[in-house]
Chain A
Amino acid sequence: NAGVTQTPKFQVLKTGQSMTLQCAQDMNHNSMYWYRQDPGMGLRLIYYSASEGTTDKGEVPNGYNVSRLNKREFSLRLESAAPSQTSVYFCASSEAIGTGAVGTQYFGPGTRLLVL
């Protein structure tokens, strides 16, 4: 069991370039999430997918798009990268959206993105 995997681990982009961050989970979870982590600001939710075929905006969706490709995979796309999107991006999954054991989120190792 790999849990939640993310690729790439590191990426440097120039302003205006596009890229897609990949995330996959092998726990048969229904719900998946994308967060960004900035110093002193904790985790902020970008987008989430409650179940296969659905996606919804989180707290900071501007400048991002997502695709829930299938139950396992949830990708995050930056269409035109900006320096403000320099951050560490985490993907997470849970059995469902909720609380307790069902809502427990499992995190990937993160993607460190630098936009110049």
Chain B
Amino acid sequence: GEDVEQSLFLSVREGDSSVINCTYTDSSSTYLYWYKQEPGAGLQLLTYIFSNMDMKQDQRLTVLLNKKDKHLSLRIADTQTGDSAIYFCAAGNAGNMLTFGGGTRLMVKP
């Protein structure tokens, strides 16, 4: 089955860019998702990218997909303290369940 891996922790200073990385194993995954979980809350969809795209940008968020290496990244420009949260990537394909990574805790220092 699919396996999705993320680093556990990332610390950045306010105003810097954050890059959260994710790798997956199933090359048939057609959609890759990024979710954000704030303390005490459920997961909130940030964005998703289809496997025929290399990049997707949405305001301060940039998603990069390297299909050859099965590597996904989420870049947050001008990181703010409100961006402190756990970020999950997830991979899926048609008709199948999403597989979630373990989450990356982003800490933004003032």
CB within 8 Å for A98 and B94 given contacts A42-B101, A104-B48: yes
Q: How far is the CA of A105 from the CA of B103 in the complex (A)?
A: 16
If A43-B88, A45-B97 touch, whether A107 touches B31 (CB-CB below 8 Å) is no
CB contacts (< 8 Å) of B41 on chain A: these are 109-110
Instruction: State whether B92 touches A99 (Cβ < 8 A).
Output: yes
Chain A residues contacting B30 (CB-CB under 8 Å) are 99-100
Q: Which chain B residues lie closer than 8 Å to A48 at the CB level?
A: 97
A116 to B71, alpha carbons, bound, how many Å? 41
Instruction: Please tell me if the beta carbons of A41 and B102 are within 8 angstroms of each other in the complex.
Output: yes
Our count of residue pairs bridging A and B at CB distance below 8 angstroms stands at 57
Say if the beta carbon of A81 comes within 8 Å of chain B: no
Q: Of all chain A residues, which has the CB nearest B96?
A: A97
* Contact indicator per residue, chain A 96-116, by CB within 8 Å of chain B (1) or not (0): 011110011111111000000
Asked whether B31 lies within 8 Å of A43 as measured between CB atoms, the reply is no
* Chain A 23-49 interface 0/1 with B at a Cβ cutoff of 8 Å (1 = within): 000000000010000001111010010
Residues in A whose Cβ lies below 8 Å from that of B48: 100, 104
A4 within 8 A of B: yes
Q: Which one, A97, A107, A108, contacts B97 given CB within 8 A? A: A97
B66-110 contact mask (Cβ, 8 Å, vs A): 1 or 0:
000000000000000000000010001111111011110000000
Q: Write the chain B residue with the least CB distance to A48.
A: B97
Q: CB-CB contacts of A76-108 with B at 8 A, as 1s and 0s? A: 000000000000001010000111100111111
Chain A 53-92 residues near chain B, CB threshold 8 A: 58, 90, 92
The answer to whether A104 and B45 touch across the interface, beta carbons within 8 angstroms, is yes
Give me 6 A-to-B residue pairs in the complex whose CB atoms sit less than 8 angstroms apart, sorted by A's number: A42-B101, A43-B100, A58-B97, A98-B94, A99-B93, A110-B42
Residues of A within 8 A of B (CB): 4, 33, 40-43, 45, 48, 58, 90, 92, 97-100, 103-110
Task: Show the binding face of B for A, using Cβ within 8 Å.
Answer: 4, 8, 30-31, 33, 35, 40-45, 48, 50, 88, 92-98, 100-103
